[in-house]
Structure 1
Amino acid sequence: MRVHHLNTGTMCPIGRRLVNGTGSIFQRARMVCHCLLIETSDGLALVDTGIGLDDIAEPPRLGLKWVRQTKPRLDPAETAVQQIKALGYSPDDVRHLLLTHLDRDHAGGIPDFPKAKVHVQRREYEMAVTHQIPAPKGRYITDQWKHGPDWSFYGEGGEDWFGFKGVRALGDREPDILMIPLPGHTPGHCGIAIRSQDKWLLHAGDSYFFHGQIENPPRRAPLALGYFQRKADMDRAARVANQERLRVLNASHRAEVTIFNSHDPADYERCRCGRH
């Protein structure tokens, strides 16, 4: 399967050294919304959707506090739908949206692909959409799915993948795409594993925010980034435990699996330039 790495939303908070670990505290940092466009035998699949056109048209719906803190660029050209058009595809060619979770900077592009099936972990849906599990106030932007998308749900069982339990996200048609439960950031947070040629890619979502966190020995995230990560955790113990599992996977299977997160520009540039 051919995989395209897309940045579907640049965020520029103040304090580059405290976010990226380099530069001055007075410079703007750079964070990305790292998504994947996958060419499959069943059309295109998109892993996470980043910030969508409706979010850009109406920034306050993202939350004034969130916009003020993260300073998103809000460039329509960065949206997944516009980048997919630039590659010569139609939005209708996108058949599947595979979401690590439903936070605003991951789910904003859902309305841009109304014909796509939206794949999420069931616990994420029960918290964000049906509210069967109480969610922190303001955590999710329900306007991002008010059009009533076609949902597909997954539990936590399934086949073994390097010690993790996963399920086939697209069934027998695509055995090389797996949803890997990685709760902590949210209860239904998961990673998406894709076999591309002779190697696996693992989009770990918000399981970690700074590339040094899964190195061995690990490096602490820059101060502001680490604070934001802890503040966003719904289950910190689970997130820390899964981060350790990713660190072990990275140390023992680096030649077989490339791990990256959603927002670290270093991870994004490494993948975009093919430095796996």
Structure 2
Amino acid sequence: MLKILGKIGLLVLALAAGTVWLVVLRLKNVPVPLLGTYGLLLIGLVAGLLWPGVLGRRVTRRRVLAFAGVPVGLGTLGLYLAVVYYVTDLPVLLTMAAAVGLAGAASALLRGRRRASGQAARQTRRAFLLGGAGLVLGVLSVLSGSRAERQRREVLARGEQERQAAVRAPGARRRIADGTVRVFPIHTGDTIVTYGQFYGGLDGWEGLNGYVRTLVDKAQIAVPVYAYLIDHPRHGLMLVDTGVNWEQAHDHDGYYDMTSRLLTERDEYRMSPGQDLRVHLARLGYDAKEITTVFLTHVHDDHAGGLRYVPQATVVLDRRDWEHGVLYPYSFDLVKDNLSFPAFDSGAFGAFPASQDHFGDGSLVLLPTPGHSPGHMCVLLRLDAGSVLFMGDTLYTLPHLATGQVRQMTIGGTDTIHQIEAARRIQRLLASDPRVVPLFAHDNTRYQFDLVNSAFTNGAPGEAGMRELRRHMRTVLTPDGRLRPGHTPRFVAPASGTGLGTVEFR
């Protein structure tokens, strides 16, 4: 009985591990038919090794390994090389193979001591071959390490050349220093997401179901990733979020380690040389080394990637996000000693029961908006002509302010409740103060591409620019926060049937 229970336990563990591996492969866009065939082979291998007699009296574990184990092993290696492997893995793989060879040699020697002389001689020869192979693989592992590092340096060197060329391209500006608070939108590239993840929160894209649907539904779109530069005459140069860094977009597999690569898509970001944060700053007349403060709306990597370029800055973020949010250490390893956590003890602010007057003069206020992440926050900045509210990912686009009609994928449960509560507080804040306009991190509508980018061309929109932004908001949303006709998003599939789709508003 215990033996049967033990086998059942092994079967459950094997199936769980296999399921995780299949989910990872689907995340990497491996076709479903191929995954189905591979999955059946995995099940057959596990079941055959545990209960070979079920497949027939003459079936042995050796035959199961030969007829199912070999194709599964080759298939696993092939899939790994196709969708996960990067050159920096080579030393690791060779080291693992060397360890297996040396372990096999040691095992053969031990078995040989307990066998007759003829069998002992065969085991000795086997140990000699396995040990020799292990040593050779170990040497290759050491040699491959330098080769992998050299290739990475070459990739980074090419990137540096492209960035310098982009900085020198015509059209760069001189810095304006006239005592005006200025805000510059910085488009740091695009991220590739499923349409449902971006717009399907009311169509079942929520919680676990939403994450499962991202594996199955590959109707994808490209959306922008924005950071914002603040040039403040009293408080210096600041950033709200930092966007994506160059390596995430152009050396994704080298930037992330093997485990992180399993959970991310190789082509999840794209960026032209001119969209690099450092290039943007240089062409506006600034230097990344001058940034004193970064206000991080949350710790997700498409908002924190550029932290690597501002290691001298103080990074302000909600402690809950640092302790419980989904973050990757590569973006934070240079600033982890420069973190500042607001207490949110400045009292109520409009519809928000808590806030943080960061500088103590009302010029910049932090507002907790949890839900998208445990400690998500928005940032309100006073300008001469009004105020701007940096939304982070509480709401993706202007149409998302109509929370009852357009919603992004949410985490589910209380997190969804908190996010909707935060969105409604933002709605009340915007309704109560006509001098506040929202600035989004991922808006893929005309509001961002035409109006925001135009109004903030020189960093200061003025009264006319702020009025135009509010006027456009009224053409998209009714006073009670509903979408007007012509502004409901709809996915448009690519003409070829493959590639990225687009979004129409009707």
TM range (shorter): 0.7 to 0.9
Q: Which has the higher contact order (CA 8 A, sep 6+)?
A: 1
Counterpart position of 2:419: 239
Structural mapping, 1:177-192, within 5 Å: 177-192=364-379
Q: Distance in 2 between matches of 1:116 and 1:4?
A: 18
Of 346, 350, 353, 1:158 maps to 346
Aligned-residue offset at 1:36: 1.1
Provide closer, same or farther for how the CA distance between residues 10 and 204 of structure 1 changes in structure 2, counting only shifts above 3 A: same
Counterpart position of 2:397: 210
Secondary structure of 2:269's aligned partner: coil
Of 301, 306, 310, 1:104 maps to 301
Provide closer, same or farther for how the CA distance between residues 26 and 106 of structure 1 changes in structure 2, counting only shifts above 3 A: closer
Tell me, yes or no, if the aligned pair for 1:186 and 1:234 is still in contact at 8 Å: no
Tell me, yes or no, if the aligned pair for 2:389 and 2:437 is still in contact at 8 Å: yes
Secondary structure of 1:108's aligned partner: helix
Q: Distance in 2 between matches of 1:67 and 1:74?
A: 15
Aligned-residue offset at 1:150: 1.0
Tell me, yes or no, if the aligned pair for 1:14 and 1:26 is still in contact at 8 Å: yes
Larger helix percent: 2
Counterpart position of 1:49: 242
Aligned-residue offset at 1:27: 8.6
Deviations 1:194-222 (A, max 9, x none): 1111311001111112322314x85324x
Q: Distance in 2 between matches of 1:48 and 1:150?
A: 15
Q: Distance in 1 between matches of 2:439 and 2:288?
A: 26
Deviations 1:166-187 (A, max 9, x none): 2122x24x63111111011111
The worse-fitting range, judged by mean Cα deviation, of 57-66 and 201-210 is: 57-66
Counterpart position of 1:249: 429
Counterpart position of 1:88: 285
Tell me, yes or no, if the aligned pair for 2:368 and 2:376 is still in contact at 8 Å: yes
Q: Distance in 1 between matches of 2:412 and 2:261?
A: 15
Deviations 1:226-245 (A, max 9, x none): 3xx22489811100111122
Tell me, yes or no, if the aligned pair for 1:233 and 1:239 is still in contact at 8 Å: no
Q: Distance in 2 between matches of 1:64 and 1:112?
A: 26
Q: Does 2:437 correspond to 1:258? A: yes
Greater Cα radius of gyration, structure 1 or 2: 2
Q: Distance in 2 between matches of 1:191 and 1:232?
A: 20
Provide closer, same or farther for how the CA distance between residues 157 and 265 of structure 1 changes in structure 2, counting only shifts above 3 A: same
RMSD: 2.8
TM-score, scaled relative to structure 1: 0.80
Q: Distance in 1 between matches of 2:252 and 2:239?
A: 23
Secondary structure of 1:183's aligned partner: coil
Counterpart position of 2:186: 6
Secondary structure of 1:101's aligned partner: coil
Q: Does 2:303 correspond to 1:122? A: no
Secondary structure of 2:223's aligned partner: coil
TM-score, scaled relative to structure 2: 0.45
Point out where structure 2 has 5 or more consecutive residues left out of the alignment. Answer: 1-180, 201-216, 456-467, 470-506
Larger strand percent: 1
Q: Distance in 2 between matches of 1:175 and 1:67?
A: 41
Q: Distance in 1 between matches of 2:411 and 2:368?
A: 21
Q: Distance in 2 between matches of 1:150 and 1:233?
A: 33
Identity rate of aligned residues, in percent? 23
Q: Does 2:405 correspond to 1:219? A: yes
Q: Distance in 2 between matches of 1:53 and 1:149?
A: 23
Aligned-residue offset at 1:87: 1.1
Tell me, yes or no, if the aligned pair for 1:114 and 1:149 is still in contact at 8 Å: no
**Matched residue type, 2:185:** H
Deviations 1:62-108 (A, max 9, x none): 7455435x732133431322210111211111111111011000000
Tell me, yes or no, if the aligned pair for 1:34 and 1:268 is still in contact at 8 Å: no
Aligned-residue offset at 1:34: 1.9
Secondary structure of 2:221's aligned partner: coil
**Matched residue type, 2:371:** G
Structural mapping, 1:65-84, within 5 Å: 65-68=263-266, 71-84=268-281
Q: Distance in 1 between matches of 2:333 and 2:374?
A: 22
Point out where structure 1 has 5 or more consecutive residues left out of the alignment. Answer: 129-138
The worse-fitting range, judged by mean Cα deviation, of 206-215 and 178-187 is: 206-215
Q: Distance in 1 between matches of 2:298 and 2:417?
A: 18
Number of corresponding residues: 251
